[in-house]
């Protein structure tokens, strides 16, 4: 028996005569997610600089997303070797958390530009847009960017020392060149700085009254 909900959808007058393969009938998941999360990202206009920064981060995020597929296959492969062949490789076990760390760190900036990070909006969602933008600017200027710069300053000698010593895994048969993994800390922080700078520019553009349709205005 077909549930009433689906029957209503099928027999709905507006659904008759429409080709479901028509791109106009496809769901815009990004738009739906933004509405459910009370995100204000769509109301912030772009500048030329912010558009370039976010385009780069978007492409990086799409490329990095393949890491999760590789990680899934690696986990399944390790599990099969362990249970069916009673063997395991330390290097492959370490590669699992290496890939997880890289995917998580590089995904921070992508998550930020899509406003997919966790927010506590119990108060902010009831505020006018202008006040929310001011809070965003203050938060980025006094918290996020200083945090990124401080972490970058500490991570740089951390990675440099690992490279100079040619650090390897302490485990027998572990992965060599551990500085490669640690270098992704710098890359992730640099991308997050770019994402924060883009958001800051968009907030300033909003306060200046730049139209949301002017996506390529000078920044």
pLDDT digits (tens, 9 = 90+) for 53-99: 999 999 999 999 999 999 999 999 999 998 888 888 888 888 998 99
In this structure, is residue 80 part of a structural domain? yes
In this structure, is residue 6 part of a structural domain? no
Q: What is the pLDDT of residues 170-203, one digit of tens each?
A: 888 888 889 999 999 999 999 999 999 999 999 9
In this structure, is residue 138 part of a structural domain? yes
The first and second tokens of residue 50, run together, are 């912010």
Least-confidence region, from 9-23, 113-127, 144-158, 180-194: 9-23
Domain count within the chain? 1
Q: Mean pLDDT over all residues of the chain?
A: 82
Q: 22: burial class by Cβ within 10 Å (0-12, 13-18, 19+)? A: exposed
In this structure, is residue 13 part of a structural domain? no
Alpha helices in 12-144 (DSSP H): 29-36, 48-64, 66-84, 90-113, 129-139
In this structure, is residue 134 part of a structural domain? yes
The pTM of this model reads 0.76
Range of the domain at 153: 45-118+127-207
Q: What is the pLDDT of residues 110-137, one digit of tens each?
A: 999 988 877 776 777 778 888 889 989 9
The first and second tokens of residue 214, run together, are 């002017």
pLDDT at 218: 43
Mean pLDDT on 6-23: 49
Q: How far is CA 27 from CA 20, 24, 33, 62, in A?
A: 11, 8, 11, 20
In this structure, is residue 37 part of a structural domain? no
pLDDT at 214: 52
Q: How far is CA 181 from CA 66, 106, 159, 176, 200, in A?
A: 17, 12, 9, 10, 29
């Amino acid at each position: 028996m077909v549930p009433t909900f689906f029957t209503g959808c099928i027999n709905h007058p507006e659904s008759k005569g429409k080709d479901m393969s028509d791109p106009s009938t496809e769901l815009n998941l990004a738009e739906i997610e933004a509405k459910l999360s009370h995100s204000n990202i769509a109301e912030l206009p772009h500048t030329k600089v912010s558009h370039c920064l976010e385009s780069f981060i978007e492409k990086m995020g799409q490329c990095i997303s393949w890491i999760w597929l590789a990680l899934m296959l690696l986990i399944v492969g390790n599990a099969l070797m362990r249970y069916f062949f009673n063997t395991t490789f330390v290097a492959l076990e370490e590669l699992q958390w290496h890939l997880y760390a890289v995917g998580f760190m590089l995904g921070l900036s992508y998550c930020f530009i899509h406003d997919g990070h966790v927010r506590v909006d119990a108060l902010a969602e009831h505020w006018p847009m202008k006040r929310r933008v001011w809070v965003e600017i203050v938060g980025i200027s006094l918290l996020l960017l200083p945090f990124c710069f401080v972490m970058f300053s500490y991570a740089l000698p951390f990675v440099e020392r690992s490279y100079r010593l040619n650090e390897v895994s302490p485990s027998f048969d572990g992965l060599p060149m551990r500085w490669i993994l640690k270098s992704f800390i710098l890359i992730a922080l640099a991308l997050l700085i770019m994402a924060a700078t883009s958001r800051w520019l968009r907030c300033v553009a909003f306060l200046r009254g730049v139209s949301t349709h002017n996506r390529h205005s000078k920044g």
